[in-house]
Structure 1
Amino acid sequence: MTLLSVKDLRVGFGDTDVVHNVSFDVAAGETLAIVGESGSGKSVTAMSINRLIDYSGGRIRGGSILLDGTTDLVQAEEVALQRLRGREIGMIFQEPMTSLNPVLKVGTQIGEIFAKRHGMSGRAVRQAAIRALDRVRIPDAERRLDQAPHQMSGGMLQRIMIAMALAGEPRLLIADEPTTALDVTIQAQILALLAELQRETGTGLIFITHDIGVVAGIADRVVVMQNGMVVESGSTGDIIDWPRHEYTRHLLSAVPLFRHGAAAPKANDAAGKPALQVDDLAVRFPVGGGFLRKSKGVVHAVSNVSFDLAPGETLGVVGESGSGKSTMARAVLGLVKPSKGRIACGGDRAVQMVFQNPNASLNGRMKIRTALAEPVIAAGGRVDAACVERMETLLRKVDLPLDALDRYPHEFSGGQRQRVCIARALMPEPKILVLDEAVSALDVSVQAKVLDLLMDLQKEFGLAYLFVSHDMGVVERVAHRIAVIHAGQIVEMGPSTDVLSDPQHPYTRKLMAAVPSLEKREVDFALDTDEVPSTLRPAGWEPAAVLWQEHGPGHRFVAEAG
């Protein structure tokens, strides 16, 4: 039974069409993947299905969008669309920070869905919200309900959005890059949730992504889009094994394949003083009980973390969202105050950071010239001729034209904006770059170019990289060593080749098994019913000493208790 039928859809902004004659069908219980790079029109197509494009300045210029073969959403009135959104057609957006209300607690926003969609009230709403967060594998679900969005990691926020979409129990679910910000284990759980929903209710799923590895595991059919047009469509097996269009072949060739350590760079043998030393680092956050109420305890976000980082070396840090890897990175930068431990990095200007989202990292009203000058001014320097010369030199290094200095961020693509962020981080001549999911928001082909750039800069300047990522294929490509973080602690560390090819800790093995690939077709994702580990402890609690076991030169892992 055809649930949705899109025929000859045309969408435009102003006088320009950006989607041209797009057609596809989605059956009940079917998963259709729409793939393509930024600007291909896939998200505009998705936003048009439930007419959200109307609020973004866009307009459907032609074609039809039939729900159940009878209701044409193109012609539907706003009142009818409001009844359909969330109930019949659910949507998971790519950017959770722009989709959630920043001033309302998470529990309030999830609870609204259960109150309006299911008629619940009072305690029943809160219990349903807790169950919704448990389903998407968020630890300490009840405590998280009382937090605001800014108190959570990007991966957790994405899971909140997924929980809210699933709470509405829609018949058609549109998921726009729903797993981009998630690590492989959580991604597998989300895909398992979606598969369970389809089995139980026959929900149709439109899955928009640039990750072909994920598509291989979940999609029944694939639509490939380029420049607002469908250039190829067919069954998943046919598209991946026998791509006909040149653009499809380009997308497939750019996928960073995970080869279990075979593609990892050789270990860095740099001698001498480390660029960064972290000893017994701990970061803790007290959880208040409210006015005149006893404290609920302390969140041990990072515990017992120790490592060195040599000049010219890349340490890849991997783990689930909420595992503490970003908190650890921020502690190294001084953005989070450590509760205990020592961090030695050679001064304030020695460390700079490249964040995940280049759009949020750059001030849209500030020209690139001013953006590059900011770290120099903050460090007490002057914007003189030498400073301008360094700007121009770094722009050439990151393959941007010199006239970029007098342009604004919106005049660049996502990959170019991230190159600007890299150039800005290099302005004060740091020894260490902390890269927090620095390429996860980029298309695969752009991602490959930025990774090449980072490796070239590392060789030229002897930079040390602390590379935080959830993408095992990317980590394998750039990291000399890997540290695996679970529930705030490093559980395994060693040369990338050894850790990826011969993982010793059960959690590392779990990460490896969850990595998607083009070879994994029609994966039967299974829900993990194990309890999600909590880092909330009673006040005064101290973790036990870490018991390490050695497994080859430089490769060690935490021994399991008992």
Structure 2
Amino acid sequence: MIPLLSVSDLSVGFGRKAEANEVVRGVSFDLADGETLAIVGESGSGKSVTALSINRLVDFGGGKITGGSIRLRRGDGGVLDLAGAAEPQLTKIRGAEIGMIFQEPMTSLNPVLSIGTQIAESFRLHRGLTGRQALAAAKDALDRVRMPDAARRLKYTPNQLSGGMLQRVMIATALACNPRLLIADEPTTALDVTVQAQIMALLAELKRETGMSMIFITHDIGLVAGIADKVMVMQNGQAVEQGELNQILDHPQHGYTQHLLHAVPHFASGKATRSDGRREKAPDAEPALKVDGLVVRYPVRSGLFGRATGAVHAVDGVDFELMPGETLAIVGESGSGKSTTARAVLGLVRSTRGSFSASVRKAATRQSALPIQMVFQNPYASLNPRLTIESILAEPVIASGGRVNAETRARITTLLKRVGLPENSLERYPHEFSGGQRQRLCIARALMLNPSVVVLDEAVSALDVSVQARVLELLVDLQREFGLAYLFISHDMAVVERIAHRIAVIYAGQIVEIGDAKSVLSTPRHAYTKKLIAAVPTIERRRQRFELDTRQVPSLVRPLGFEPEPAKWDVFGPDHRVRIEA
């Protein structure tokens, strides 16, 4: 039988002389009905360009197919070569027959239109729905991807949603018309493990119902093991190895495939937790950071005069201590309050009540040290593109009222060398560095004022797996050297397992379980922690059947004056507490 999609000797280039600037060369593969092909590789390997070429979206980014063919079997049985198809033909195919989930939802959604309007557009164009029918279908699409308060969020614009929520919007849009071929470009990178499992369940359910085929681009080998039938490994624009799932995972032949499999952190249910470098809490020891009763609420307004009718309880009574030399990981779903907690501690969002304090260490320069610094998720957006690296690293000193003197320059040079970058980097600009190098620069900048606490908000989630491994090693080494305390925000349980000494699990704005990392991961006590751990993909779970959970995520909106009951805890061992549900 003719395959649904047949790509033969595909080559893609960019610029005026595309043939001389090819970034994809000689890629070939076939995809049958109901089959899933996983394309894996690091940034720059050509996997996303290959995907964008299939529906010719690469044309809009300055790319050009310089050779090969892309044959799609149409619904009527005919075959169309997309490589040479006219734009009107492609317009009818995009969205209806070939759906696509993009990696960066913020750049893929119109910032001035509500998400309801943007999702409804697919139903208007391809199903002929109008007005309320299209909006009702949009709400159903959001419900399918477990968007909390879906009806209310239809009116939101993209800037009002978190990265994880925005990716759910993208997925809902792509699945709106039940396409025969779905191209998913890192669709779950920004999502926590439970929502990731639900998205995988939804994709699997659609496959069973419609026979949909899928091209799944990812760096998560655990996800590949759970969903793929075939795997293609790309490096430097070429397919270096491809074959059946078990063959690639169990008997990789190419050195690059072996490297990828070795670099990916594998979740080991607490067996790989850290036991080195942690400073045990002495009776009179001063915490590097202490948070007591932290509450963050946002008013919900409605009516003609915009009166407050309720409040979003983003963070509700969070308490923890972080000791010098210790890493506390905060894990939970998107919207659970983990990033809001970190930002409140930094003063980036205003807390409603509660207290927090951080110890101040002796400054490395004559300027006064700031006790808490932050490394953000996106290294590309965290550095001013118009400043040299020397100016970027000097920014914290200037912002704290200091001057760039010989002592400051010596600190810059020392930290630059310590994060593994050459001294000649100082006169260069951020665009001249890779993602991993930029994140190293962000780490160096955070250490300029010798903080006692560094907040890492999804600091390695945007990096390739091998780069991620090196940055994690750097963080561990710096912690040992400087006695840093890390507040590590993450949705990746395998990464958390390798860097955390202690773990706090946040659900609906409250800590529901906290304690020693090994104890929490190996013997979770709270139902939500168990759910988180059960959802972690691993390389051992082949072609896993994800079960779709249709239960609604609880809303964080509460009526005015509502106060939760004081927390009650069960204690399991010397450092493991679990919240007792009311």
Shorter-chain TM-score bucket reads over 0.9
One of 291, 297, 301 as aligned partner of 1:278: 291
Measured in 1, the distance between the counterparts of 2:491 and 2:554 equals 18
How do 1:349-498 and structure 2 match up within 5 A? 349-498=370-519
Following TM superposition, by how much is the alpha carbon of 1:428 offset from its aligned partner in structure 2, in angstroms?
Answer: 1.8
1:208-357 matched pairs, under 5 angstroms: 208-266=217-275, 268-271=279-282, 272-292=285-305, 295-346=308-359, 349-357=370-378
Tell me if structure 2 keeps the 8 A contact 1:130–1:145: yes
Residue 92 of structure 1 is matched in structure 2 by 101
Give me the whole-angstrom Cα distance separating, in 1, the residues matched to 2:401 and 2:227. 53
Which secondary structure state, in structure 1, belongs to the residue aligned with residue 4 of structure 2?
strand
Aligned partners of 2:24 and 2:46 also within 8 Å: yes
Within 2, Cα distance between the matches of 1:158 and 1:502? 31
Return the letter of the residue paired with 2:406. A
Moved more, 123-132 or 550-559: 123-132
C-alpha separation between the residues in 1 aligned to 2:303 and 2:453?
40
Map of 1:123 onto structure 2: 132
Query: 1 CA distance for matches of 2:28 and 2:303?
Result: 54
Asked if 1:26 is matched to 2:11, the reply is no
CA deviations over 1:256-289 (Å, ceiling 9, x no partner): 1111111111264043110111001111011111
Counterpart residue identity of residue 46, structure 2: G
SS in structure 2 at match of 1:344: strand
**Is the CA contact 1:268–1:480 (under 8 Å) kept in the aligned structure 2?**
no
Query: Contact 2:372–2:453 (CA<8 Å) still a contact in 1?
Result: yes
Establish whether residue 46 from structure 1 lines up as the match of residue 51 from structure 2. Answer: yes
1:360 is paired with a residue whose SS is: coil
Q: Is 2:193 the partner of 1:184?
A: yes
Measured on the aligned residues, the alpha-carbon RMSD in Å equals: 1.3
In the alignment, is the contact (CA less than 8 A) between 2:146 and 2:550 conserved in 1?
Answer: no
Contact 2:194 2:531 (C-alpha < 8 Å) held by counterparts: yes
Match of 1:153 in 2: 162
For the residue of structure 2 that corresponds to 1:107, the secondary structure is helix
- Rate the CA distance shift 1:516–1:544 in 2: closer, same or farther, 3 A: same
Tell me which residue corresponds to 1:112: 121
1:77–1:54 distance in 2 versus 1, CA, 3 Å: same
- CA distance in 1 between counterparts of 2:115 and 2:310 reads 20
Instruction: Tell me, in whole angstroms, the C-alpha distance in 2 between the residues paired with 1:296 and 1:247.
Output: 57
2:456 alignment partner, SS class: strand
- Determine the structure 2 residue equivalent to 1:3: 4
4+ aligned runs moved over 4 Å, structure 1: none
One-letter amino acid of the counterpart of residue 274, structure 1: P
- Alignment pair present for 1:56 and 2:61: yes
SS of 1:175 mapped into structure 2: strand
Q: Distance in 1 between matches of 2:89 and 2:326?
A: 58
Contact 1:279–1:341 (CA<8 Å) still a contact in 2?
yes
Q: State the partner residue of 2:364.
A: none
Deviations 1:97-125 (A, max 9, x none): 11111222222211222222222222222
Alpha-carbon distance in 1 for matches of 2:306, 2:476: 52
Does residue 517 in structure 1 map to residue 538 in structure 2?
yes
For 1:514 and 1:419, how far apart are their aligned partners in 2? 30
Question: 1:24-56 CA deviation, whole Å, 9 max, x = no partner?
Answer: 111121110000111111011011111111111
* In structure 2, C-alpha distance between the alignment counterparts of 1:6 and 1:414, rounded to whole Å: 30
Whether 1:67 aligns to 2:78 is no
For residue 558 of structure 1, what is the amino acid of its counterpart? Answer: R
CA distance in 2 between partners of 1:124 and 1:544 (Å): 41
Q: What amino acid is aligned across from residue 574 of structure 2 in structure 1?
A: P
2:553 to 532, 537, 541: 532
In the superposition, relative to structure 1, how do residues 165 and 209 fare at CA in structure 2: closer, same or farther (>3 Å)? same
Match of 1:170 in 2: 179
Give the letter for the 2:267 counterpart.
Answer: F
SS at match of 2:45: coil
The Cα shift of 1:367 comes to 1.8
Distance 2:135 2:9 in 1: 44
Q: Quote the residue 1:81 is aligned against.
A: 90
Could you tell me which amino acid in structure 2 is paired with residue 535 of structure 1?
L
Q: Quick one: which amino acid aligns to residue 314 of structure 1?
A: T
Query: Does 118-127 or 510-519 show the bigger shift?
Result: 118-127
What is the rounded CA distance, in whole Å, between the counterparts of 2:143 and 2:393 in structure 1? 43
The answer on whether the counterparts of 2:290 and 2:320 sit within 8 Å (CA) in structure 1 is yes
Give the distance between the partners of 2:341 and 2:379, measured in 1 at CA.
21
Which of the numbers 11, 14, 21 marks the counterpart of 1:16?
Answer: 21
Deviations 1:55-103 (A, max 9, x none): 1111110000011161111101112211211111111111111111122
Task: Specify the code of the residue in structure 2 equivalent to 1:328.
Answer: T
Residue identity matched to 1:269: E
What amino acid sits opposite 1:185 in the alignment?
T
Most deviating of 250-259 and 284-293: 284-293
Q: Which residue identity does 2:332 align to in structure 1?
A: G
Does the CA contact (< 8 Å) of 1:270 and 1:312 recur in 2? no
- What residue number does 1:204 align with? 213
Instruction: Give me the whole-angstrom Cα distance separating, in 2, the residues matched to 1:291 and 1:129.
Output: 26
Contact 1:12 1:59 in 2 (8 A): yes
Contact 1:53/1:59 (<8 A) preserved: yes
Partner amino acid, structure 1, of 2:143: D
Give unpaired runs (5+ residues) of structure 2: 361-368
